[in-house]
Amino acid sequence: MQKTGTIAKALRVNALLCASAAVLMGAAGSASATVYPIPATTYNYYVAPTGSDSASGSKSAPFRTLARAAQVATKPGTTVWVAPGTYTGGFKTTANGTSSARIYWVSTTKWGAKIVPGSTANVWDNRGSYVSIVGFDIDGSTKPAVTHGIYMGGSYDHVVNNHVHHIAKSATCTSAGGSAIGVDSYYKGVWNDVVGNTVNDIGPAGCKYIQGIYVSTSGTVKDNLVYRVGEAAIHLWHDANHVKIINNTVTSSHYGIIVGGGNFYNSSTGDDYTIVNNNIVYDNTYGISEQGVTGTHNSYSNNLLYQNSGYNISLKNGLTAKGTVSSNPLFVGYSRTAATPNYHLTSSSPAIGRGTSVGINPTDIEDKPRNATTGYDIGAYQH
């Protein structure tokens, strides 16, 4: 199987699929959204709040639940289009796509399709490979003890442009753990991409087992905004290696970014060849931390590290960070407690033009181009 590599972020919804092409709209206050390619697929199913699970799942006769769609969306080259509305989670998707014919689950309006917890610990439990989950609002606030927002147990999966929030706020803190977005190697999963998501208000304070974005495979974590996480905003562990952590903004958490390996499932070599570039890690208890088993080939460049009260960065094996910016990022409207802080950069931000081109996506979390002419900015937002 061939690695998917970095996600090219441009949604081109083919008009042949839908006469009124579905578009991922920007969040409130945003000019546009991180976008993602949805090619024409052989099979298409539709889900809407006004639908029925006894219907055919066509555009004119949509299903009512994602659980019903999961029963029929079993072939490579399938797209499930989900209309705005509120849906019950607690379902599992197990079908596999292929490298040339993925299975796509798409909210037709960004964050318009809201999924709330069902009767299980996972809001969305995906075990399939070559699966893309794009543009959903995963809202755990109605059942604050639920422990996982989006759980990915396959390989070459994409989690793009979702809002995952208020997960496990009152969960019991056990080693079983939890996360807003988790990509897991337990079922021998490899290489997954987590791009352009917003993750906030995750886990109870003081619980070290519940994370924001949790990765135990290889892959990419790019252009995500993560804040107010009880433990780590971004946490690599178990079999994680060769991960590119690029252009994320992480704040108001216990740890900003943990790079490490341990409690191995399928490997014992530890986390090596991980690249951590262009991240804003601000106002956490600890900033960037290597823990457990790590290698000598990890690299850290052009990160803005500031006001992390315990330490800004702690590396192992004699590694040192390069091009670090040690200044307040000067967000437009930062707050540890506001419902919707504004993490855009002011014109005076020291993050502007201080990033490196190594490993970046061509656009930011809102599809604004990153280019050499304006300078590569640090963090999820390009000024």
- Model confidence over 37-46: pLDDT tens digits? 899 999 999 9
Tokens for 48?
């809407």
Query: What confidence category does residue 135 fall into, taking pLDDT thresholds of 50, 70 and 90?
Result: very high
- What is the rounded distance in angstroms from the CA atom of residue 66 to the CA atom of residue 357? 39
> What is the mean pLDDT of the segment spanning 148-164?
97
- What is the rounded distance in angstroms from the CA atom of residue 21 to the CA atom of residue 6? 25
Please give the share of the chain, as a percent, with pLDDT higher than 70: 91
Write down the domain spans for the chain: 43-345
Cα-flanking dihedrals φ and ψ of residue 179, to 5°? -165, 160
- What is the rounded distance in angstroms from the CA atom of residue 380 to the CA atom of residue 383? 10
Query: What confidence category does residue 268 fall into, taking pLDDT thresholds of 50, 70 and 90?
Result: confident
Instruction: Give the residue with greater pLDDT, 265 vs 32.
Output: 265
Task: Give the position of tokens 């970046």.
Answer: 360
- Model confidence over 341-354: pLDDT tens digits? 999 999 999 999 99
Please give the share of the chain, as a percent, with pLDDT higher than 90: 86
- Model confidence over 7-28: pLDDT tens digits? 443 333 332 223 223 333 333 3
Instruction: Give the residue with greater pLDDT, 226 vs 1.
Output: 226
- Model confidence over 219-260: pLDDT tens digits? 999 999 999 999 999 999 999 999 999 999 999 999 999 999
Assigned fold of 43-345: Pectate Lyase C-like (2.160.20)
Query: What confidence category does residue 35 fall into, taking pLDDT thresholds of 50, 70 and 90?
Result: low
Q: Given a cut of 80, is residue 118 above it in pLDDT?
A: yes
Which residues have C-beta within 8 Å of that of residue 87, sequence separation ≥ 6? 47, 49, 65, 66, 113, 114, 115, 116
Q: Given a cut of 90, is residue 141 above it in pLDDT?
A: yes
> What is the mean pLDDT of the segment spanning 150-176?
96
> What is the mean pLDDT of the segment spanning 149-160?
97
Across 26-30, 147-151, 203-207, the highest mean pLDDT is recorded for 147-151
What is the reported pLDDT for 34? 53
- What is the rounded distance in angstroms from the CA atom of residue 331 to the CA atom of residue 212? 21
Lowest mean pLDDT among 28-32, 36-40, 183-187: 28-32
The pLDDT mean for the chain works out to 91
* Nearest alpha carbon to residue 107 among 84, 128, 126: 84
Pairing of the two strands 331-333 and 342-345: antiparallel
Query: What confidence category does residue 5 fall into, taking pLDDT thresholds of 50, 70 and 90?
Result: very low
> What is the mean pLDDT of the segment spanning 135-157?
96
